[in-house]
Chain A
Amino acid sequence: MTNDIEKIAGAAQRGLWANSAPSRRGLLIGAGGLGAAAVLASCGGGSAPSSSASTSATGTPKRGGNFRLGVTGGGSKDMFDGQNVGTTPDGARLLSAFETLLTFDDDFRLASDGLAESVEADNPTQYTIRLRRGVEFQDGKSMTADDVIYSLRRVATDVSLRGNSAAASMDIAGIKKMDAHTVRLPLKEPDSTLKEKLAAYYFSIVPEGYKKFSGDPSTQIGTGPYRLKSFTPGRESVSERNPNYWREGQPYFDSVTISNFSDTTAQVNALIGGQIDAMTDVPAAQITAVKARGKNTLVSETGWWIGLSMAVDMAPFDDSRVREAFRLMVDRQAMLEQAVSGYGALGNDLYGRYDVGYFSDLPQRKQDLDKARSLLKAAGHESLSVDLYTTNATGGMVEMATVLAKQAKDAGVTVNVRNLPSDTYYGDDYTKRAFCMDYWAARPYLQQVQQGSLASSPYNVTHWPPTSGKGAAFQSLYEKALATTDDDQRIEIEHQMQQLEYDLGGWIIPFFPSNIDGYAANVQGLTPAKTTFGLADFGHGFRTIWFA
């Protein structure tokens, strides 16, 4: 769901472009905006070599110091809520104070090292959560089943929370406390993605009676490594070490200061000038400068993506040959290099890159202009001209559209790029365009399907699946996958679903951009990670990093 953060802030950034003329002032703000978008982008989802959270250590962790993080993408709408975020700095602040039942490790695989010892399916519609014992909230209160029930109920009943729609499959009224450390969670319908949901930050555990920040930091009590001391939305927050923290030895800093930046240039200057210890998202063009000044960069391959969407029920893309032709027009490597300076990995029109069910055996699509031309000819579109709608919601988005237009020309297709202000783009016509762009955070395959690839999905721009033909089986395959708790069987079904999208779907996903973060040389414990947020989930809530 981090994509939503990106979306919000991206929209914000876009709005700025829309409202400022390209004066010298506009230019500057625009440049900052780009940076902001890039940061947002970077919270998409990390990736990278395998190394688990605590083994990344170089040397022995040392206590002490005030860690200062600079983040762009925030503003006066920043919030502090144990189960919700609106901006990138919100994500950093949440992770410092709140934790989830299950976790994703640095390879974006489910792990049981969160607040629950285990979450097991008793059957496809009933799960049992066994809590870790001896975990205390920052005020010394023990975490119990009551807190878990309150937390799940809060997400399910408050529509303003990000996890609200994900809680739809839970039978919240039927949730039951078995004993102080065991909760039985019944489902309304089978949902094999439940454990992945419980590992997402928007299902963090808050104490019974918890309410979001409204002026008093002492009300913000989580189980996390740092306790909030002060918070001024749009400006800065300061948190102090939780002396009660349940993970042995962690965390290492005495305090963590998270500062908002409105401009990436200022952020880079602050890092180079030594006023912050780390920053999210370094613009690709600045990497050399940052390194030359003795700072480090953390480049993480990620699973977040920007896609070109062809609506499968709108002309000319209602003909699957046209969709195929467009996919063959794209020179993915060239696009990766031109749109995001080469920082990323090639895509194959499929999302859910780090899901165990990701169908990596499908052949990598390559540019084939002859085949594209003949497909278009067969479909009766020899001199096709289409409008491609885009918006500057995240770094690389407009650039991709421009590159595509250039590449399409080689196949004899005219693509007119229509770059709209974000609030217009994400306005009433958002899901009603034949050819447009969108972007998403890394998330498990089936969760992404639920968000964007079903008739019932809130953000379905491709209008997939089709109502007739081979692709129409997609919906029933999805339901079958949700009801399948056996991993191998479910993966087999997911492969069938991906094969359908690969052959007939509406997405062109040319590449997965990387996260590029920067940090000072004395910061230890950071390694590339496929985590949801940038900077390896902000050093796993600032608990696995320390000062040398």
Chain B
Amino acid sequence: MARSVRRRRRGGIAAFILRRLLLGGVVLVLVSVVVFVATQALGDPARAILGRDATPERLAALRAQLGLNSSVFTQYVDWVGGLLRGSLGNSLAAQQPVSELLGSRLVNSLVLVSCAAVVSIPLSIAVGSWAALRRDRLFDSMSMTLMLVLAAVPEFVVALLLVIALATTVLHVFPAISPVPPGQRPWDHPTVLVLPTAALVMGVAPYVARIMRASMIEVLESDFVEMARLKGLPERLVLLRHALPNALGPVFQVIAISLAYLAGGVVVVEYVFNYPGIGSALQDAVVNHDVPVVQALAMLIAAVYVVLNLLADVATILVTPRLRTRL
């Protein structure tokens, strides 16, 4: 009886994903309310845009032009209505559609974050695993000390040190800043991606590597690994088939959080390298109290969190036999 109820409720990984997507939708609706309320607290965009030039006539003209005179509730309904129709509204400062303003920047940031992920995830898993296998030996203590140091140093310091070492002062190997001219894509100028990617990798890898090491150590000491070893399986097989998948479970969660962090934390690195991504757009929008742009970016980052968490859960389930079979 109980068994059949559970079967009806679950229904495999597809149903699980669907349920999580619906939940994610609910989360995003709640976030939209919070974002809207929070952005109202930014203050009057017309005053922010005009600054000291804000004579009463110019303020009134700009407010009317930007549609700031309607009630907060009407503004929210308009905004959500626009979102549902796929329109993010118009930027108050640039007076052009938000999608146009953010489109190429989004691609740029995505490319940067992807590069960082592609480099940092395998690297940190490898370093973490190797450190676990060489526990308390030279590689372990050196790599973990280095990771601790990197974790403690802010990204922008890392970024500036990279610039000093490789672009301006010691060596002149890479460009000091990473401009991507409008209309072009980052991959047209691959060298500009090197330093920002390196800075992001150094920002994220330590956390993943340390979790990977801890997780691996735990798994290596578990009964089933001992069992596998006692069965006489080759060490290679023990590690790759039995230890690694089980150790990866918790690491996926950390990777998801790290990537989600990258989506927001890329701001700092973009700033140092003058990289035209969403980071500088967000900063600019906050400065100008450009509510539609801030809202669009906040929603985007929230959606990234939701999706990455979902992916991490799915991945965890897929690599963990215990969880996989329960679905």
Contacts and interface: CB of A to CB of B under 8 A. Distances in A.
A423 B44 contact: yes
A8 B154 contact: no
A469 interface: no
Nearest to A266: B274
A275 B44 contact: no
Contacts of B271: 28-29, 32, 262-263, 266
Interface centre among B42, B156, B176, B273, by most chain A C-beta atoms within 10 angstroms, is B176
Interface stretch (B20-28, B46-54, B229-237): B46-54
A444 interface: no
A150 interface: no
Given A265-B160, A269-B168, A160 B61 contact: yes
Interface centre among B55, B91, B286, by most chain A C-beta atoms within 10 angstroms, is B286
Interface string A1-39: 000100111111101100110001100110010000000
Contact of A7 (B42, B52, B101): B52
A7 B271 CA distance: 23
Given A4-B53, A12-B287, A24 B167 contact: no
Given A28-B268, A75-B287, A273-B172, A266 B177 contact: yes
Interface centre among A7, A267, A269, by most chain B C-beta atoms within 10 angstroms, is A269
A234 B284 CA distance: 9
Contacts of B280: 234, 262
Contact of A159 (B61, B91, B172): B61
Given A24-B156, A266-B273, A76 B43 contact: no
A19 B286 CA distance: 8
A423 B53 CA distance: 11
A180 B285 CA distance: 47
Given A230-B182, A235-B182, A273-B167, A459 B52 contact: yes
Interface string A219-246: 0000000000010111110000000000
Interface string A129-152: 000000000000000000000000
Contacts of A28: 154, 156, 268, 271-272
Given A10-B51, A28-B156, A76 B93 contact: yes
A160 B94 CA distance: 15
Nearest to B286: A19
A349 B304 CA distance: 56
Contacts of B285: 76
B267 A25 contact: yes
Interface string B265-291: 001100111101000110111111110
A286 to B, nearest CB: 12
A188 interface: no
Contact of B93 (A16, A24, A75, A275): A75
A8 B286 CA distance: 14
Given A15-B287, A262-B283, A273-B177, A236 B168 contact: no
A209 interface: no
Contact of A423 (B48, B101, B167): B48
Interface in B74-121: 91, 93-94, 101
A15 B289 contact: yes
Interface in A152-183: 159-160, 162
A272 interface: yes
B212 interface: no
B183 interface: yes
A423 B51 CA distance: 7
B47 A423 contact: yes
A430 B55 CA distance: 11
Nearest to B182: A232
Contacts of A233: 94
A4 B58 contact: no
A173 to B, nearest CB: 21
Nearest to B267: A25
Interface residues of A, number: 51
A259 B179 CA distance: 9
B188 interface: no
B163 interface: yes
Contact of A77 (B57, B93, B179): B93
A76 B268 contact: no
A18 B284 CA distance: 13
A234 B105 CA distance: 11
A257 B183 CA distance: 15
B321 interface: no
Interface centre among B49, B57, B160, B179, by most chain A C-beta atoms within 10 angstroms, is B179
B179 A272 contact: no
Given A77-B94, A273-B168, A262 B177 contact: no
B49 A236 contact: no
Contacts of A459: 52
A76 B163 contact: no
A419 to B, nearest CB: 16
Contacts of B101: 76
B154 A24 contact: yes
Contact of A76 (B44, B91, B181): B91
Interface in B280-327: 280-281, 283-290, 293
Nearest to A77: B93
A262 B277 CA distance: 12
Nearest to B154: A24
Contacts of A29: 271, 283
B154 A423 contact: no
Given A15-B287, A266-B271, A236 B181 contact: yes
B89 to A, nearest CB: 14
B175 interface: yes
A422 interface: yes
A274 B168 CA distance: 9
Contacts of B287: 12-13, 15-16, 19, 75
A291 B99 CA distance: 42
A4 B52 contact: yes
A293 interface: yes
Contacts of A203: none
A317 to B, nearest CB: 22
Nearest to B269: A28
Contacts of A232: 182-183
Given A234-B280, A234-B281, A427-B47, 6 more contacts: A7-B52, A28-B154, A159-B57, A262-B284, A263-B274, A266-B177
26 contacts: A4-B53, A10-B52, A12-B288, A16-B287, A19-B286, A20-B286, A24-B154, A28-B154, A28-B156, A29-B283, A75-B93, A76-B281, A76-B288, A77-B49, A77-B94, A160-B58, A230-B182, A235-B181, A262-B280, A262-B284, A263-B271, A266-B176, A269-B167, A275-B176, A275-B177, A426-B54
